[in-house]
Chain A
Amino acid sequence: MRDMAGLDEGAPLFVQIAERLADEIADGGLVEGEQVPSTNELAAYYRINPATAAKGIAMLTEDGLLEKRRGIGMFVAAGARTRLLAERRKRFAERYVEPLVAEASRLGIDANELVSLIRDASHGQGGTTI
């Protein structure tokens, strides 16, 4: 397979493009009000059809995360990062905690042990919130 900057062939490419851009917005790599790469720039970087890249951008525009400024290009909408982070918090339990608990119970790790494992890992990452 051709190197498509890490895109994989098992899921629609436009969805993956949208996810990559959303990740960048959530991480602060693209800040609100900043211009996002053009369709052709994305197509050249990921080595994909420009129409596919355009579809990824359109998906984020429909979600209100990007906005079009006529004649200039696409920009990160105001409040985009806050909204993304709120959505991810909502899905955090389902995406991360539930599979974690399922695997822990499969291995016979009880809730107390699991909590202390999480605490250790958090210390390891320099976290102070848990």
Chain B
Amino acid sequence: MTPAISAAGLTRRYRDQLALDQVTLDLQPGSITGLLGRNGAGKTTLMRIVAGHEFASAGTVTVLGASPAENETVLRQMIFIREDQSYPDFKVRYAVQAASLFYPNWSHELAGALIEEFNLPLNRRIRKLSRGMRSALGIVIGLAARAEVTLFDEPYAGLDPVARELFYDRLLADYAEHPRTVLLSTHLIDEAAGLFERVVVIDRGRIVLNMAADDLRGAATSISGPAIAVAEFTGGRSVWDRRRIASQESAVVAGALDETDRARAAALHLRLEPLTLQQVVVRAAGASMASPAEKNAERTSA
């Protein structure tokens, strides 16, 4: 199957800074992928290049099998909604109308329903909208376009938690009926985790993790209890993190635990707590160059 998005050796240099460093990535059609990473990690640069808004210094990118740059066939099947998306200064109504004319799969029905749910004032000028309302407009257009490739880059600046929930629910519901390829970048990992089939973590311009989301849940376990027992249990294992207070110690070990491990931990009176998707991602993205976490992430993503 032709990947919906395919990047090979993608590199982007800004003067003295390397924003993307040899990014290679294939996203299969019909999946929701979370693009995660710290500020300045390269998420937006990657999405801008995929969307054809920017050129790579080296490497190639194809969307639906073709280069996206100035390719109208591809551009009509791809939508890119950015954080703080800017619009020409006209009324909300016209922005929606313009998008409906450009995107061949546009759903008037979905647009109408979303406009109502987000309480978007159709006759207000976009310049007069609050930040949250402008984000809501982006979400309405991004979902109603039903574009085969849908890119959302932190689409919810200024949106309150209720509106964000609405966004996740409507995205999931419409995606279930009309599968497409969604790439969503976010810092709100815990909130959005259930949406993702895959997770790609980018750090300093490089991909450090690219895995099925469900393979990350419980992929590491926090072990705590008497320091002597923790040391005994963690001996010979890959330990990501270790903290100690008085006679107690807490350590994070990589790899899933089996029944034997659990029985042994119970016998040693240790507490086990599997790490959540967010906790695993934070460790992968925050790890220093030489830390076991990153090495582990690279190994598993290969």
Contacts and interface: CB of A to CB of B under 8 A. Distances in A.
Interface of A: 1-2, 4, 7-15, 39-40, 43-44, 46-52, 55, 99, 102
Interface of B: 31-32, 165, 168-169, 172-173, 175-177, 179, 190-197, 213-215, 217-218, 266-267, 273-278
> What are the 6 closest A-B residue pairs judged by CB atoms, nearest first?
A10-B274, A9-B276, A12-B214, A40-B176, A48-B194, A11-B218
A47 to B, nearest CB: 5
A44 B173 contact: yes
B172 A49 contact: yes
B218 A10 contact: yes
Nearest to B193: A9
Nearest to B274: A10
Contacts of B215: 12
B217 A52 contact: no
A4 B191 CA distance: 10
A71 to B, nearest CB: 18
A58 to B, nearest CB: 12
B172 A2 contact: no
A49 B195 contact: yes
A13 B216 CA distance: 10
Contacts of A49: 32, 172, 194-197, 213
26 contacts: A2-B165, A2-B193, A9-B193, A9-B277, A9-B278, A10-B217, A11-B217, A12-B214, A13-B194, A13-B217, A15-B214, A40-B176, A40-B177, A43-B176, A44-B173, A46-B194, A47-B172, A48-B194, A49-B194, A49-B195, A49-B196, A49-B213, A51-B197, A52-B197, A52-B213, A52-B214
B214 A99 contact: no
A13 B197 CA distance: 10
Contacts of B191: 1-2
